[in-house]
């Protein structure tokens, strides 16, 4: 049954002018904007859909008792850990994410980080600032072994890009799988420690769930080669940060590139800022100049589907915390 009228709350903006594409919403759509908890509580009563524009916003939990007619939430990111508080997770409200919007950008970011380590770009920048003519050999990335922990859309896009430049890429997922276009082989998470021993680069893209929180710690760093690098673009809480710092300070691993942290922004007194073998970036690996328009257009596509009672794109399994991969 086609719905003629739908009320949508967009949380994270003050006016619709902040997302110009929403002015192209299908006819019969009423949009209410909210910028904080108080305005969200005012906007939710009677609304059927919510666009959570800020993927890190946690106000929905505090306004949940006002969501008297809510049927669908479009989350503003790929990771939905900030959304899955118990009341929402246990409800019949459908949750969709922005899967696919950030995959290529994050893959290019990881490729750039691997190249930065292999070609020693940080030291080149330092030498330039210090007027040092510092000639040395660097490494090639062809035939390097990359282990990607997380075999969803982002991990698989990274795998395809790295294989295209000659890397030997394996994945880690919940279950073991044979090779495909993204990975030469996919290990079970139960065999993670063994898979780590051969990797030159370890890339974490896994979603944050109760099962994955803090899963990468001292034991896993101990399994890595001393010459290997650790890259995290998933969530900071996936990693035992003090153990990561220890592994870096003692040169148990060669270095790390970190786009996510347990506390964001990263506090000024965190040792990661001053470690020479660390690249710190402010949770930006997936963001690019056109990503907000892409997010808005994906939402509009789903809104049209919702009004026409069609299957929504990127529907999250709330018991898992991510969009299940379709079996080929």
Residues 62 and 171 in one domain: no
Closest CA to 173 of 156, 196, 195, 150: 150
CA distance 193 to 190: 8
Q: What is the 3-state secondary structure (H, E, C) of 253-272?
A: CCEEEECCCCCCCCCCCCHH
Is residue 70 a part of any domain in this protein? yes
Is residue 74 a part of any domain in this protein? yes
Residues 134 and 260 in one domain: yes
Q: Which of 280, 298, 316 is the last residue of a domain?
A: 280
For residue range 272-317, list pLDDT tens digits in order: 999 999 999 999 999 999 999 999 999 999 999 999 999 999 999 9
**Tally of domains in the chain:** 2
pLDDT band at 326 (very low <50, low <70, confident <90, very high): confident
Is residue 56 a part of any domain in this protein? yes
Task: Assess whether 264 carries a catalytic annotation.
Answer: yes
Strand partners, 258: 232, 280
Residues 175 and 254 in one domain: yes
Task: Show the domain range for 160.
Answer: 103-280
Residue 327 has pLDDT above 70, yes or no: no
For residue range 198-243, list pLDDT tens digits in order: 999 999 999 999 999 999 999 999 999 999 999 999 999 999 999 9
Q: What is the 3-state secondary structure (H, E, C) of 186-223?
A: EEEHHHHHHHHCCCCEEEECCCCCCCCCCCECHHHHHH
Residues 70 and 195 in one domain: no
For residue range 235-277, list pLDDT tens digits in order: 999 999 999 999 999 999 999 999 999 999 999 999 999 999 9
CA distance 88 to 81: 12
Residues 147 and 271 in one domain: yes
Residues 87 and 142 in one domain: no
202-205-209 Cα angle (round to 5): 125
CA distance 273 to 259: 12
Residues 113 and 224 in one domain: yes
> Which residue in the list 38, 142, 264, 290 is annotated as catalytic?
264
Residues 46 and 168 in one domain: no
> Which residue in the list 11, 32, 187, 283 is annotated as catalytic?
283
pLDDT value for 4: 83
Residue 320 burial (CB count, 10 A): 13
pLDDT value for 328: 55
For CA atoms 17, 19, 20, 22, give the dihedral sign. negative
Is residue 156 a part of any domain in this protein? yes
Residues 274 and 295 in one domain: no
CA distance 252 to 75: 38
Task: Assess whether 289 carries a catalytic annotation.
Answer: no
Residues 41 and 175 in one domain: no
pLDDT value for 316: 98
Higher pLDDT, 112 or 1: 112
Omega cis (within 30) before 265: yes
Residues 125 and 270 in one domain: yes
Across 71-88, average pLDDT: 97
């Amino acid at each position: 049954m086609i719905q003629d009228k739908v009320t949508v709350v967009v949380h994270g903006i003050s006016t619709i002018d902040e997302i110009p594409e929403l002015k192209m919403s299908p006819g019969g759509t009423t949009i209410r904007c909210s910028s904080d908890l108080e305005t969200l509580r005012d906007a939710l009563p009677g609304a059927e859909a919510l666009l959570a524009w800020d993927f890190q916003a946690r106000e929905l939990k505090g306004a949940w008792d006002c969501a008297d007619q809510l049927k669908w939430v479009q989350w503003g990111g790929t990771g939905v850990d900030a959304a899955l508080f118990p009341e929402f997770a246990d409800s019949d409200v459908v949750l969709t994410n922005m899967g696919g919007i950030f995959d290529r950008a994050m893959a290019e970011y990881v490729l750039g980080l691997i190249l930065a380590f292999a070609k020693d770009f940080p030291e080149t920048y330092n030498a330039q600032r210090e007027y040092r003519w510092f000639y040395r050999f660097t490494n090639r990335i062809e035939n390097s072994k990359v282990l990607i922990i997380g075999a969803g859309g982002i991990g698989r896009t990274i795998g395809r890009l790295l294989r295209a430049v000659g890397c030997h890429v394996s994945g880690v997922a919940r279950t073991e799988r044979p090779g495909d276009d993204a990975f030469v082989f996919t290990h079970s998470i139960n065999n993670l420690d063994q898979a780590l021993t051969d990797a030159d680069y370890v890339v974490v893209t896994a979603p944050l769930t109760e099962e994955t929180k803090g899963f990468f710690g001292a034991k896993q760093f101990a399994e890595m080669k001393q010459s290997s690098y650790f890259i995290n673009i998933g969530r900071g809480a996936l990693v035992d940060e003090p153990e990561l710092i220890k592994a870096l300070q003692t040169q148990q691993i060669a270095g790390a590139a970190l786009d996510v942290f347990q506390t964001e922004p990263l506090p000024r007194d965190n040792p990661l800022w001053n470690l020479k073998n660390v690249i710190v970036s402010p949770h930006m690996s997936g963001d690019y100049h056109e990503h907000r328009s892409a997010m808005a257009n994906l939402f509009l596509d789903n809104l049209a589907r919702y009004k026409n009672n069609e299957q929504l794109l990127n529907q999250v399994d709330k018991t898992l915390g991510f969009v299940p991969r379709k079996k080929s």
